[in-house]
Amino acid sequence: MEIVHTPVLLEETLQVLAPRQPEELMIDTTVGEGGHSYAFLSRFPDLRLIGIDADPEIQEVAKQRLKVFGERVHWYTGWSHDFFADPSYEKPDTILIDLGVSRYHYEKGARGFSFLRDEVLDMRIDRTQGLAAAELIAGLSEKALADLLYTYGEERYARRIARSITEAKARGRISRSGALADIVVRAVPSSRYRESIHPATRTFQALRIAVNGELTRLQELLERAIRVLKPGGRVGVITFHSLEDRIVKHFFREKGTDYTGTQEQPIYEYKERGSRSVKVLYRKGITPGEAEIRNNPSSRSARLRIVEKVVDKDVCLQYKEMR
Ligand SMILES: C[S@@+](CC[C@H](N)C(=O)[O-])C[C@H]1O[C@@H](n2cnc3c(N)ncnc32)[C@H](O)[C@@H]1O
């Protein structure tokens, strides 16, 4: 079994989400090839884990890899926010959310995630539902496409790219990632080639986010993760671009009230509708060090944000009743 993905911020995640009680339950909501899960199960011998992924293909790799841990591991195939909607599951002590797609998807997914490969332009994580990228592009007007590239890719040349894609569509369906990458490369000004990222990076990111409804799902996932977490439990979220990170940051901060903690490790306390409260640990989150970025350049934009649940809704209700 060949593993291609290197888990990011691994040591930091192991430290902040380390179990604090015996036989804790961890939910890896984005198990991928199981890199983080494998490290947690190896380091903490009585930890139990549920591994979730919306892509059954990559989850199969994790299943093979984590077989050695036997009954300590259980599986759910599907979107994580759907898993959390089922109240019959045991409440977890820790939840890990490592967003986006895996290197596996770029290198072995054969679904057009990479602008460096010529593959079918699909980009769906779960291939059983929703529109593939080629269908999405085919159905969008030039304006809608430009808005999509601007909103989800923060693409400065969104209008130029949308115009070129629309002209190309008039000559025939764009069904391969190679063809799309060529169109984008020709559409952007040559100054773009001097930037550190490939000219098609933002277009491909925007389409992937749109195809998989990533930002809408994220909001839902955070809501539900906090709701199901045990009091005292922690959620760690690893984001890879500013759009994701902004959602996570605002989700935890917008209801900010008190400040406690030290200068080095400030703790902000938040109350949500008076029913739940979470502490945000590490105000700016944790980013990779130089050595990690050198060894794994795709980690450079990663940021780990961690929150701890301090009060559960039920506890609040009981407290009110007591008074
Ligand atoms: C960045 S990779 C995780 C890598 C993993 N931590 C590792 O070390 O191997 C994210 C994985 O989560 C899956 N995924 C992304 N969003 C998801 C969601 N909302 N629900 C379920 N799976 C998701 C993707 O299919 C992908 O396999």
**Predicted pLDDT at 256:** 43
Q: What angle do CA 264, 267, 272 make, to 5 degrees?
A: 160
Provide the residue type at 251 as one letter.
Answer: F
Q: Which of 2-16, 24-38, 233-247, 260-274 has the lowest mean pLDDT?
A: 260-274
Q: Which CATH superfamily is domain 127-211 in?
A: Putative methyltransferase TM0872, insert domain (1.10.150.170)
Instruction: Answer yes or no: is pLDDT of 322 > 50.
Output: no
Ligand 1 midpoint to CA 98 (Å) = 6
Around ligand 1, the residues with Cβ closer than 6 Å are 5, 7, 29-30, 32-36, 52-55, 58, 79-80, 98, 100-102, 125, 217, 221
Protein residue whose Cα sits closest to atom 3 of ligand 1: 32
Protein residue whose Cα sits closest to atom 14 of ligand 1: 30
Residue 1: CB atoms within 10 Å = 7
Instruction: Answer yes or no: is pLDDT of 59 > 80.
Output: yes
| Residue of 302, 299, 136 lying closest to 208 (CA atoms) | 136
The confidence band for 284, taking pLDDT boundaries of 50, 70 and 90, is confident
**Predicted pLDDT at 318:** 47
Residue matched to tokens 């980690």: 299
The confidence band for 260, taking pLDDT boundaries of 50, 70 and 90, is low
Largest CA distance in the chain: 72
Q: Relative to the CA of 28, which ligand 1 atom is closest?
A: 6
Ligand 1 midpoint to CA 110 (Å) = 17
In terms of phi and psi (left: phi > 0; alpha: psi -120 to 50; beta: otherwise), the region of 32 is left
pLDDT average, residue stretch 27-39: 98
Q: Which CATH superfamily is domain 10-102+215-322 in?
A: Vaccinia Virus protein VP39 (3.40.50.150)
Provide the percentage of residues in the chain whose pLDDT is more than 70: 88
| pLDDT tens string 199-252 | 999 999 999 999 999 999 999 999 899 889 998 899 999 999 999 999 998 887
Sequence ranges of the domains in the chain: 10-102+215-322, 127-211
Q: Relative to the CA of 104, which ligand 1 atom is closest?
A: 27
Helix 142-153 vs helix 201-211: crossing angle, to nearest 10: 100
- DSSP assigned state of 159: H
Instruction: Answer yes or no: is pLDDT of 311 > 70.
Output: no
- Name the residue of 29, 30, 303 to mutate for ligand 1: max ligand atoms within 8 A of Cβ: 30
> Comparing 150 with 254, which gets the higher pLDDT?
150
Asked if 93 contacts 235 with a C-beta cutoff of 8 angstroms, the reply is: no
Q: How far apart are CA 218 and CA 236, in angstroms?
A: 13
Instruction: Answer yes or no: is pLDDT of 255 > 50.
Output: no
The reply to whether domains 10-102+215-322 and 127-211 share a CATH topology is no
b/e burial code for range 237-258 (CB count within 10 A of at least 16 → b) = bbbbbebbbebbbebbeebeee
| Residue of 65, 60, 61 lying closest to 41 (CA atoms) | 65
pLDDT average, residue stretch 103-119: 95
Instruction: Answer yes or no: is pLDDT of 97 > 70.
Output: yes
Return the sign of the alpha-carbon dihedral for residues 311, 314, 319, 323: positive
Q: How far apart are CA 114 and CA 4, in angstroms?
A: 15
Alpha-carbon distance values, 154 to 149, 175, 197, 243 (Å): 7, 24, 13, 9
